[in-house]
């Protein structure tokens, strides 16, 4: 059964599933990069009128819509699409043999501390709001991260980044001076 939850972003809705949607972590898909996507379920969902971004996590999927379509129209279509997928398929929507770490992070002690704080303290909170945060780099005291899913373009994401993410990272990792979002 699919449940929905609102997020701080009014143009984004979180669809919760009892079944596993991804066993490879969290992935984001944007309408503008639809031609690069090979997963039929995702391509079909991005073809729905008004869908501009999809974030798939282990037990939830976030959909970000354009303002010209209402949740009253879109929500039942997304739920139906998810239910249809699980009627016809046993496994998760996203599954791979082994995900290759995209950051190619070295054994840098500071970076490892940053990743630990992101994974244990920040990512779970961001996931509750239907989003994700990806580490991109650390240089000269500045951590660069990418906000995804519901967090992407959310009016409160800058406040979350500065008051939440930056404060936590500065508290736990003394080498961190600031945090910036990248696209």
| Cα-based distances in Å from 29 to 69, 149, 164 | 19, 9, 25
pTM: 0.63
Q: Identify the pLDDT of residue 102.
A: 45
Q: Identify the pLDDT of residue 123.
A: 85
* Parts of the chain with a pLDDT under 70: 96-107, 153, 155, 158
Q: Identify the pLDDT of residue 183.
A: 79
Q: Identify the pLDDT of residue 41.
A: 93
| Domains delineated in the chain | 2-88 (3.30.1370.70), 109-181 (3.30.300.130)
71 by Cβ neighbours in 10 Å (0-12 / 13-18 / 19+) ranks as middle
């Amino acid at each position: 059964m699919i449940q929905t939850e609102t997020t701080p972003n009014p143009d984004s809705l979180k669809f919760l599933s009892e079944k596993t949607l991804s066993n490879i972590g969290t992935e984001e898909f944007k309408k503008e990069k639809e031609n690069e996507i090979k997963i039929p379920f995702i391509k079909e969902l991005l073809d729905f009128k008004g869908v501009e971004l999809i974030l798939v996590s282990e037990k939830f999927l976030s959909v970000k819509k354009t303002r010209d379509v209402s949740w009253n129209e879109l929500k039942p279509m997304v739920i139906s699409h998810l239910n249809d997928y699980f009627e016809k398929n046993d496994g998760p929507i996203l599954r791979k043999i082994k995900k290759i770490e995209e950051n190619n992070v070295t054994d840098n002690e500071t970076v490892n501390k940053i990743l630990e704080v992101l994974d244990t303290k920040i990512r779970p909170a961001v996931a509750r709001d239907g989003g994700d945060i990806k580490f991109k780099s650390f240089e000269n005291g500045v951590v660069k991260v990418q906000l995804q899913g519901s967090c992407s373009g959310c009016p409160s994401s800058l406040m979350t980044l500065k008051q939440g993410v930056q404060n936590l990272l500065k508290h736990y990792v003394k080498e961190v001076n600031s945090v910036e979002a990248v696209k």
